[in-house]
Chains A and B, each alone.
Chain A
Amino acid sequence: MKKTLNINIGNSIIHIEEEAYEMLTAYLNEVKAHFATSADHYEIVTDIENRIAEMFREILFQQQRQVVELQDVAQVIAQMGTVKQFEEVDEEADSTVPPSHEGVKKLYRDTDEGIVAGVCAGFSHYLEIDVRWIRVIALISFFIGGSGILAYLIMWMIIPRAVSRSEKMYMKGEAVNLQGFIRNFEEELAGNQLIKRSTGFIAEVVDAIGRVLGKVGKLFLKIIAGLIILFGCFCLLGLCISLAMVLGFSDANPNDYFPFNIVNTDYLPTMILAVFVAFAVPLIALILFSIRVLFNTRAINRTVSFALLIVWLAGVMTSIFYITKVSSEFKERAEFTDVKDLKPYGTYNLLINRTRFFSKEDSVRYRISSSNYRGRVILNDEDGPFTMPRNVSLSIEKSDNGKVTLAQNFSAQGKTFENALQYAQNIHYGFSQQDSVLNFSPQLQLTKNTNWRGQSVELILKVPVGVKLLLHRDFDRYLQRYGSWSCEGETDDDQDVKVWTMTEDGLKCDLHKSE
């Protein structure tokens, strides 16, 4: 990238690079100076300028370019002839060309040859002393209370950097005229010396450090990429296995487990596939990208990546569609209450009954003929239902009418109220009374293939004042408001069963029962 200027020469607008402009200006100044003594100098210079403009236009047109460059100016000058060549032919015109800027020197920073900011190199050009001596002086001054460093910084700020060709020529005291330009230009063409100047010591060190860091960083990046590939492949494998398990082995009925139990069975496979795609595609993309980093290859072409993107979008869209669809099934909540009268006793023993009867659903689930197992029970050792969010709660209240009742409050969610009510009605909760023993099931049961729709049962046991209740510690997790922890007496007893008595103020823990 180079800076260009717009010039108006011979009534044409020409785009010209800055360096080329400087050279052209120097040339035209010399030409003007050469003809200054002639009476018709204005006309001559105008003719020359017109012709130069025309040559530029021709060059640009022939080479299909926009901007005049340095070598174009050099070519035009060669054709037009330098002032020196004019003098050979024409001697009556006074040939005393004022030596423009000859010997004029300006102080610039030479960043081409400098080590830090080119201050010393700039002074060496200005004072015509070898840069080494100036550096030695600077280095010595650095150790005199660091004043040299301050001076250096100040000079760094104040002295401008030699950027353009003419600035560099002023810096070196070269005559900023055409000969100077041409010499400078030819030098540059000859060996590209100006550009490929030997860089300074610190620059080399910085370069070396940069290279080492770059290599270490690259290695580090490759290791990370390798790990990502490994990890990504494992994840992908895991995803594939779980997909196969969920889709292929329908024996392991996934409908019982969260979150699969939320989704309606008829579109479960589609949704699982969509979710699989939504997770797998980014994983594949990550792996492919890491491969690219690791092996410096173009791992995938544009078409493939585009196809992957489309597949991924489809997967995400489908997932979102089903997720909203499923979540819409939780819009309405319905509940109904079923009140049972219990046989009155003075003391009730409340138990959580983990056994349950072998149901028809179970026989289907386990592929066992139900006729052989009728009446048998399954011992469910699970403490709480993992299969569903907690959905059984029990609260014990004072009965106002002297009766012992158990209200079962079934509730569920659904797309519509009827829908929700239907779900609520499909809840089965195992409760039974055997004399004074009340058996509570730890979980509720749904008919097979019923999705989870926030089904829950809220049990309200109402007992009159004076009735004693024996509560096992297990009830802590189901009981609202009360817990065995509020029944810890001074005696450090560690009983599982606590005795509670219903009073006018509600359930009270009987601390002295153990005595």
Chain B
Amino acid sequence: MIAENTQTQMRKGILEYCVLLIISKGEIYASDIIAELKKAKLLVVEGTLYPLLTRLKNNGLLSYNWVESTSGPPRKYYLLTEQGRDMVNRLDVTWMELSYAIETSKQIKQ
């Protein structure tokens, strides 16, 4: 139970970082984000992405444009705001630190 909880917490934080990373590469549609996440083997269901995107958007990290679609109504394409970019940079640093921490921890153990 505790292990599960930890896993969930870790995944949750990393998911947010990954989503921001994917969007940072350019304007992107929600289902394409899912596709990228699946490629990265960070399996999620689409339904979990929408609350996350909405939360990030409401926190000012993301914005979206309505883009006309060939079939059906226009789609929301997400992109990073300035604030979002700062966030990604900060998270990059954090990730380096964490990665270092983990690598070192493992080496010490050996």
Question: Which residue numbers of A lie inside 8 Å of B, CB to CB?
Answer: 10-12, 31, 35, 38-40, 43-44, 47-48, 50-51, 53-54, 57-58, 61, 79-83, 85-86, 88-91, 93
- The reply to whether the CB of B105 lies closer than 8 angstroms to some CB of chain A is no
CB <8 Å contact, A89 and B12:
yes
Tell whether, in the assembled complex, residue B8 and residue A88 are in contact, meaning their CB atoms are under 8 Å apart.
yes
Contacts of A91 in B (CB 8 A): 8
B45 contact from A10, A54, A61, A85, Cβ within 8 A:
A85
CB<8 Å pairs between A and B, sample of 8: A44-B50, A51-B30, A54-B31, A79-B46, A86-B51, A89-B8, A89-B15, A93-B51
A86 pairs with B48, CB closer than 8 A: yes
Contact B48–A47 (Cβ < 8 Å): no
In the bound assembly, the distance between CA atoms of A53 and B31 in angstroms comes to: 13
Q: Check B47 against A31 for contact (C-beta < 8 Å).
A: yes
Residues on B with C-beta less than 8 A from A35 are 51
Docked Cα-Cα span, A11 to B75, in Å, equals 12
Which one of A11, A61, A85, A90 has the greatest number of beta carbons of chain B within 10 Å?
A90
- Are A89 and B11 interface neighbours, CB within 8 A? yes
A11 vs B55: C-alpha distance in the bound complex, in angstroms? 24
- Inter-chain contact B51/A90, CB cutoff 8 Å: yes
B75 — which chain A residues lie within 8 A by C-beta? 50, 54
Chain B interface helix/strand/loop/mixed: helix
Instruction: Confirm or deny: B53 has a beta carbon within 8 angstroms of a beta carbon on chain A.
Output: yes
Tell me if B85 is interfacial: C-beta within 8 Å of chain A.
no
Chain B 42-73 interface 0/1 with A at a Cβ cutoff of 8 Å (1 = within)? 00111110111111001000000000000111
- Min Cβ gap B2→A in Å is 14
- Please name 18 further chain A to chain B contacts, defined as beta carbons within 8 Å, in addition to the given A40-B51, A47-B50, A89-B11, sorted by A numbering: A10-B73, A11-B72, A11-B73, A12-B72, A31-B47, A35-B51, A40-B55, A40-B58, A47-B54, A50-B73, A51-B50, A57-B71, A61-B71, A81-B44, A81-B48, A82-B45, A89-B44, A91-B8
**Least CB separation from B53: chain A residue:** A47
Min CB–CB distance A109 → chain B (angstroms): 37
Cβ of B12 and Cβ of A51 under 8 Å apart? no
Give B10-53 interface residues, CB cut-off 8 Å to A: 11-12, 15, 30-31, 44-48, 50-53
- Which of A39, A47, A50 lies at the interface centre, i.e. has the most chain B CB atoms within 10 A of its CB? A47
Among B47, B48, B55, max chain A CB count under 10 A is at B47
User: Interface size of B by Cβ–Cβ distance < 8 Å?
Assistant: 23
Q: Are B73 and A12 in contact (CB-based, < 8 A)?
A: yes
Shortest Cβ distance from residue A367 to the other chain B in the assembled complex, whole angstroms:
94
Q: Are A80 and B46 in contact (CB under 8 A)?
A: yes
B69 to A, closest residue via Cβ: A54
A40: chain B residues within 8 A (beta carbon): 51, 54-55, 58
CB-CB under 8 A for A86 and B8, given A10-B73, A47-B76: no
- A54: chain B residues at CB < 8 Å are 31, 72, 75
B12, chain A: closest CB distance, angstroms? 7
Residue of B44, B46, B55 near A51 (CB, 8 A) is B46
What's the minimum C-beta distance from A44 to chain B, rounded to whole angstroms? 5
Q: How far is the CA of A57 from the CA of B70 in the complex (A)?
A: 12
Q: B73 contacts A38, CB within 8 Å?
A: no
Complexed CA–CA distance, A270 and B4 (Å): 100
CB distance from A156 to the nearest CB of B (A): 44
- The minimal Cβ–Cβ distance linking B97 to chain A, given in whole angstroms, is 24
Q: Which of A35, A61, A89, A90 has the most CB of B within 10 A?
A: A89
Distance A93 CA – B58 CA, assembled complex (angstroms): 16
Chain A residues closer than 8 Å to B51, beta-carbon distance: 35, 38, 40, 44, 86, 90, 93
- Which of B11, B30, B54 meets A43, CB within 8 Å? B54
Do B45 and A81 touch (CB < 8 A)?
yes
7 smallest A-B Cβ distances: which pairs?
A: A81-B45, A81-B47, A47-B50, A89-B48, A40-B54, A11-B73, A80-B47
Q: How far is the CB of A122 from chain B (nearest CB, A)?
A: 37
Task: With CB as the reference atom, state the residue of chain B lying closest to A57.
Answer: B72
Q: Measured between C-beta atoms, what is the minimum distance from B33 to chain A in Å?
A: 11
A81: B residues at CB distance < 8 A: 44-48
Q: Which residue of B lies closest to A61 (CB)?
A: B71
Contacts of A85 in B (CB 8 A): 45, 47-48
Chain B residues, CB < 8 A from A53: 72-73
User: Given the complex, which residues of A lie within 8 Å of B15, measured CB to CB?
Assistant: 89
Nearest residue, chain A, Cβ from B71:
A57
Residue of A nearest to B31 (CB): A51
Determine whether the beta carbon of A48 is less than 8 Å from that of B47: yes
Contacts of B53 in A (CB 8 A): 47
| List of B residues within 8 angstroms of A57 by Cβ | 71-72
Report how far A159 CA is from B3 CA in the complex, Å: 52
Residues of B within 8 A of A83 (CB): 47
- Which residues of chain A have C-beta atoms less than 8 A from B44's C-beta? 81, 89
In the bound complex, CA of A54 to CA of B58 (Å): 24
Q: Which chain B residue lies CB-closest to A78?
A: B45
Task: Report the Cα distance A362→B101, complex, angstroms.
Answer: 138
A80 to B49, CA, bound (A): 9
Question: Smallest CB–CB gap between B38 and chain A, Å?
Answer: 11
Instruction: Judge whether A79 and B45 touch: CB under 8 Å.
Output: yes
A320 to B52, CA, bound (A): 87
Q: Inside 8 A of B48's CB, which chain A residues have their CB? A: 81, 85-86, 89-90
Q: How far is the CA of A208 from the CA of B91 in the complex (A)?
A: 75
Whether B72 pairs with A86 at a CB distance below 8 angstroms is no
